[in-house]
Amino acid sequence: MSFRYPKGGFITAFYDPLEVPDAPTIGTATGGDAQATVTFTAPSNVGGSAITAYYAVSNPGQITATAASSPITVTGLTNDTAYTFQVWALNSYGPSAYSAASGSVTPAEQRGIFAGGRDGATPYDTIQYITITTTGNSTDFGNLTVSRWGLAGLGSTTRGVFAGGFVTGPTYYGTIDYITIATTGNATGFGNAISARSNLGSCANSTRGLFAGGAGSGGRVNTISYITIATTGTVNNFGDLYDGINRFAGCASPTRGVFGGGFASSIGDTNVISYVTISTTGNTSDFGDLTSVTVDLAACSSSTRGIFAGGDAKNVIQYITIASTGNATDFGDLLANTKSLTGVSSNIRGVFAGSSGPTNVIQYITIASTGNSTDFGDLLTTNFDMGGCSNCSGGVQ
């Protein structure tokens, strides 16, 4: 979009080009479902009077939204269309110039994916999805390459990836599958994990996915491996967990991955939370503690807050601020005591599905607001020990 001034309708008889504000400094644009959120920094020179409003304008479409401060959410966009945005400010003397353009962002339906799992000893190859922004039952997506449970999932804005698991045999599984989240269909082989394992943890930012821990034929492992989500075939060593751990959960911000709970080789059931910097290989560091020792829990996140839920037939929901180490804080309660459930999220809503029992219940929370979960809908069948991911979690913002 070329440098230009806002529409003449904002230039009145009081217009004075020497008294208008400087242009805001553009920040980032983050896509949502038919919308985008645009951040910016206010100008230090506000002109001859206080700024009364800021406006964000899309290209293409010239779709405009306003707010009193950053961020501005622009609605009415077309999913799967790439947009950039510029921001301008207005005071009583008139409009500022436009900011520079933001980076390109593509709004998309906010989908949560649940894959595999089991009903008792019977493993599933089913992949199903929900639209996170609207409550309702899940819909069939396709099938994994192999029926399995205890797998881990992670996603970018475009691709969901599932690793490991346990197939009837018993056999630990080492293959990684992927899907294109916006397009229903069966999974495709991505590559092989470093070792075959089940009940591992995972997290991701927009480009890199981490698979950690799990249990294999030789016992629990402490290995963390990583993939570049857009590139099939290559799995790399990242570092180590503090112990061999399985039956734990992971979540992420765009910079930090966090793992909590589980069963550790040296101490058994644990409440330990640890973290890594996703872009930098290395071992985990201590973060803090969950409110109690918990295994078979689920996790999800916004870009700032991580949520851990259920486990050990508990109904507890707890949260952390991902950027600040420390202990977890009580959030609220699930609908019932649950374990082996699966969590997915957008940057606003966390969704938890299934549980040993088994059950087909899906429930949700608003991540920024503490409180109890609310009914969302139902899975296709009773299911637990699934892998989950979304195209809009906190880590991919």
What are the sequence ranges of the domains in the chain?
A: 8-95, 111-396
What is the rounded average pLDDT of the residues 295-321? 96
Q: Give the closest residue to 175 by CA, choosing from 199, 151, 155.
A: 151
Q: How confident is the model at residue 15 (pLDDT cuts 50, 70, 90)?
A: confident
Going along 159-235, which residue ranges are E strands? Answer: 159-163, 166-167, 171-172, 175-180, 188-192, 201-204, 208-212, 215-216, 219-220, 223-228
Strands 53-59 and 64-67: antiparallel
**pLDDT computed for residue 350 by the predictor:** 98
Q: Is 111-396 a CATH 2.120.10.80 domain?
A: yes
Condensed to tens digits (0 to 9), the pLDDT of residues 96-134 reads 999 999 999 888 899 999 999 999 888 999 999 999 999
**pLDDT computed for residue 12 by the predictor:** 67
**pLDDT computed for residue 1 by the predictor:** 43
Is pLDDT of 4 > 80? no
Is pLDDT of 397 > 70? no
Mean of per-residue pLDDT scores for the chain: 94
**pLDDT computed for residue 3 by the predictor:** 45
DSSP letter at 19 equals T
Residues 6+ apart with CB under 8 A from 342: 114, 117, 153, 298, 352, 353, 354, 384, 385, 386, 387, 388
Is pLDDT of 42 > 70? yes
**pLDDT computed for residue 332 by the predictor:** 98
What is the gyration radius of the CA atoms in the chain, in angstroms?
23
Condensed to tens digits (0 to 9), the pLDDT of residues 139-182 reads 999 999 999 999 999 999 899 999 999 998 778 999 999 999 99
**pLDDT computed for residue 2 by the predictor:** 44
**pLDDT computed for residue 268 by the predictor:** 96
Q: How confident is the model at residue 313 (pLDDT cuts 50, 70, 90)?
A: confident
**pLDDT computed for residue 9 by the predictor:** 62
* pTM assigned to the model: 0.87
What is the rounded average pLDDT of the residues 321-332? 98
**pLDDT computed for residue 11 by the predictor:** 67
DSSP letter at 101 equals P
Top-tier CATH class for 8-95 = mainly beta
**pLDDT computed for residue 14 by the predictor:** 79
